[in-house]
């Protein structure tokens, strides 16, 4: 039982890392958000802000990366389903992008809160 669990866990980690590598190689936007998170996390750790604010900034930054990964998956699937212009496909891709923007906005709100608190 434990062996099966560990085997499945191993494969989940491998598949997740493969997804990360693919996004890193193929998506400029993902790389940009990774570097934005690196800078944000360094500042969050260096500036004299509260522990809760620091944690929220780091967690929201990770959520931006998660949203970008999901957006990348939606875009890849949409391109595979229909390679020609399609209003429904465009709407799906735009909503994925909007999800990234909303999570990034949450990160901005967290930073404003941390700096003003």
Domain boundaries, the chain: 28-116
Q: What is the pLDDT of residue 1?
A: 85
Query: Tens-digit pLDDT profile for the chain (117 aa)?
Result: 888 999 999 999 999 999 999 999 999 999 999 999 999 999 999 999 999 999 999 999 999 999 999 999 999 988 888 667 889 888 999 999 999 999 999 999 999 999 998
Q: What is the pLDDT of residue 39?
A: 98
Q: What is the pLDDT of residue 94?
A: 95
Enter the CATH code of domain 28-116.
Answer: 1.10.287.3610
Could you tell me the sign of the dihedral formed by the alpha carbons of 59, 65, 66, 71, in that order?
Answer: positive
Q: What is the pLDDT of residue 99?
A: 97
Task: Name the token pair of 37.
Answer: 């998170």
What is the pTM (predicted TM-score) of this model?
0.89
Cβ contacts of 40 within 8 Å, gap of 6 or more: 57, 58, 61, 107, 111
């Amino acid at each position: 039982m434990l062996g099966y669990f560990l085997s499945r866990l191993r494969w989940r980690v491998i598949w997740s890392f493969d997804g990360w590598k693919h996004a890193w190689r193929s998506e400029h936007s993902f790389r940009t958000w990774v570097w934005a998170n690196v800078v944000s996390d360094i500042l969050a750790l260096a500036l004299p802000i509260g522990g809760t604010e620091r944690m929220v900034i780091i967690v929201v930054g990770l959520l931006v990366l998660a949203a970008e990964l999901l957006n990348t998956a939606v875009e890849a699937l949409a391109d595979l389903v229909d390679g020609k212009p399609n209003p429904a496909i465009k709407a799906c891709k735009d909503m994925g992008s909007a999800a990234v923007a909303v999570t990034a906005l949450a990160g901005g709100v967290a930073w404003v809160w941390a700096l003003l608190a």
